[in-house]
Amino acid sequence: MLDMKVLPDACAERRRTNACDSCGARQHSVCGALETPVLDRLDAMADRIRLEPGQVLVRQGEAADHLFNITSGSVRVYRLMPDGRRQITGFLFAGDFLGLTTGGTYDFSAEAIEASSACRFRRTDYRAEMRRSPSLEAALFDRVSHELEAAQAQMLLLGRKTAQERMASFLLDLPAHDPCRPGPADHVRLPMTRAEIADYLGLTIETVSRVLTRFKTSGVIRLLSLNELRIEQPGRLRAIAEGEA
């Protein structure tokens, strides 16, 4: 595993101010619903880490000793099957929490897609704070509920939708998952590769490229670069996602 860069959070300068006050992801994370005393305690127990693209945050099978709050960038979460195939189960952005529902070991791996940062908490310390702070427990319960809804939506995506419907749903939903970097209306950032999109949607790279080309040719989207596009006909794309076109 590549070493993650841990920022010098223990220094006296940092302790004079709460780092949460200047965190751009705060309002989009569990921290947004917490009182100042709770934030102060979380701030004191957090290690702030930076990751370069491709660096590992957690590895499948390792002891699940930490929880993570993503504060910038993007992370891919995936599982490796016994035969070596990879299934990406999600993409995380600033404000997302990682490690809430795992057992004694991580049953997934997580790697930075681009330059990213996160707050890392020791699981035992965080659980102690949860017992102490009803607001934190409620915020985490709400986050877990959303994760379950997302898992159900993913099961529908993979189990019942066609390739075009999957791709349309993905493009429509992605901007809402990255609220810290809003763009122009109907603008979609794609920090992940086509291969990663394929692994997430249960498709081949060729199918992902073919569907995007079809959307472009029909005027539904405009490709601005390899990692950016604009939805030209959002109504038509939504109709495709819902199986009405």
Name the residue among 215, 235, 196 with its Cα closest to residue 76: 196
Name the residue among 46, 43, 31 with its Cα closest to residue 138: 31
Question: For the purposes of burial, counting CB atoms within 10 Å of the CB of 221, is it exposed (0-12), middle (13-18) or buried (19 or more)?
Answer: buried
pLDDT at 224: 95
DSSP tag of 108 = S
Q: Which residue has the higher pLDDT, 133 or 4?
A: 133
Strands 109-112 and 74-80: antiparallel
- Among the ranges given (11-20, 21-30, 154-163, 176-185), the one the predictor scored with the smallest mean pLDDT: 11-20
Express each pLDDT in 82-124 by its tens digit. 888 889 999 999 989 888 766 789 999 999 999 999 999 999 9
Express each pLDDT in 1-43 by its tens digit. 445 666 554 433 444 456 676 676 767 777 777 788 888 888 8
Percent helix / strand / coil, the chain, rounded to 5: 45, 25, 35
Length of the chain: 245
User: How many angstroms separate the CA atoms of 25 and 23, rounded?
Assistant: 5
pLDDT at 172: 94
Name the residue among 3, 111, 122, 126 with its Cα closest to residue 59: 111
pTM: 0.83
CATH class of 161-241: mainly alpha
Q: What are the domain boundaries of the chain?
A: 5-142, 161-241
Is the pLDDT at 199 greater than 90, yes or no? yes
Name the residue among 217, 208, 149, 156 with its Cα closest to residue 177: 149
CATH assignment, 5-142: 2.60.120.10
User: Do the domains at 5-142 and 161-241 have one common CATH topology?
Assistant: no
